[in-house]
Structures are given as structure tokens and as C-alpha cells.
Amino acid sequence: MQIPVSEIHEIIDREADDEGSIISALEKVQQHYRYLPKEALILASQRLGVPLSQAYAVATFYNAFSLKPKGKYCLQICMGTACHVRGSPQLLDQMETKFNIKAGETTPDHLFTLETVNCLGACALGPIVVVNDEYSGQMTVQKSDALMKRLIRKEGLD
Ligand code: FES
């Protein structure tokens, strides 16, 4: 995936002009590209006067940041204890099979990323699956199948 450096410049310049922090600059880039290209870390550190090592430390410390490109749809399966005992491993298996990727990977067409997360703080509603920022609780294999089919249909892939 080739990203125009001028676009990254624009985003970071805007943050720098607003006296934004390295975190806010990286947040904007992450929101825009769904990950942090290495050019963004270099530009943000130069433009905001922060050592590159610090930009990298911020990018790797917060879970909200990713150094790897993510899919258009990021599916997170909660593997915390409450969700685990209610069936999240089966949901993960089902999604890995459907998309033919493992947790932590993205489909080659950059549409779907699968991730596991720890407790999302809504244990009573487990098992929980989050698609981008949308939570779905009390997931079952049937509901998860319908969810995946809906996303696939939305992309015209069925
Ligand atoms: S264990 Fe999944 S929300 Fe708490």
C-alpha cells in the first residue's frame, strides 16, 4: 500500500500548527490510514521536535496505534476470561477459517484484520466482538456468521 508522503505532511503540519502533541499527531495519522506508516513517525518527530525514539515509544506503547497496515474492518474478539468461557475461542476459530488468516493478520485485500483483545470491560455481555468501534455482545457462532456475511456482502464479495 503506497501512501503519499504529502498527505502525511499535511496531517502532521496541521497538528504542529495547532501546537498538538506527538500523540495527537499520531492519532490523526492512525485515524486516516488505520496504521502508522514509518514516514509518519519520521515526519512527526522532525516537525514536532521530538526524538524519533520517543515517537516510536509512543507508537508501540498504546494499543490504539499500529505499525502494521490494518484492514478496512478490524474485528476484535475478546479473549478475557468471561468471554473465553462463553465461547470466544470458537468465534475466533470460525473467523480465522472464514477469512483464512490468523489473529493478528490482515487479509491480502486489506479488507479484514482479526485481533484478539483482553477484557473490554463489558463481561456481562460476553462474548464480545468489536468491528471497528462497534460492539456486539452475546455473540454466538450464528450471529458471528451473519455479521461476517453482512460485511462481505457490503463489499460486494459474495
Ligand atoms: S472478558 Fe470480555 S468483556 Fe470482559
Q: Is residue 36 included in any domain, yes or no?
A: yes
- Global pTM reads 0.80
- Same domain? 21 vs 84: no
Does the C-beta of 128 come closer than 6 Å to ligand 1?
yes
For residue 108, give the C-alpha cell: 491480502
Does the C-beta of 117 come closer than 6 Å to ligand 1?
no
Mutate to test the pocket of ligand 1, among 117, 128, 129 (most ligand atoms within 8 A of CB): 128
Number of domains, the chain = 2
Q: Which of 61, 93, 108 is the last residue of a domain?
A: 61
Per-residue model confidence (pLDDT) at position 50: 92
Q: pLDDT digit of tens for each residue in the chain (158 aa)?
A: 667 778 888 889 888 888 878 999 999 999 888 899 999 999 999 999 999 999 999 999 998 899 988 999 999 999 999 999 999 999 999 999 999 999 999 999 999 999 999 999 999 999 999 999 899 999 999 999 999 999 999 998 87
Nearest CA to 139 out of 67, 82, 63 is that of 82
The residue range of the domain holding 101 is 73-154
- Same domain? 45 vs 86: no
Does the C-beta of 122 come closer than 6 Å to ligand 1?
yes
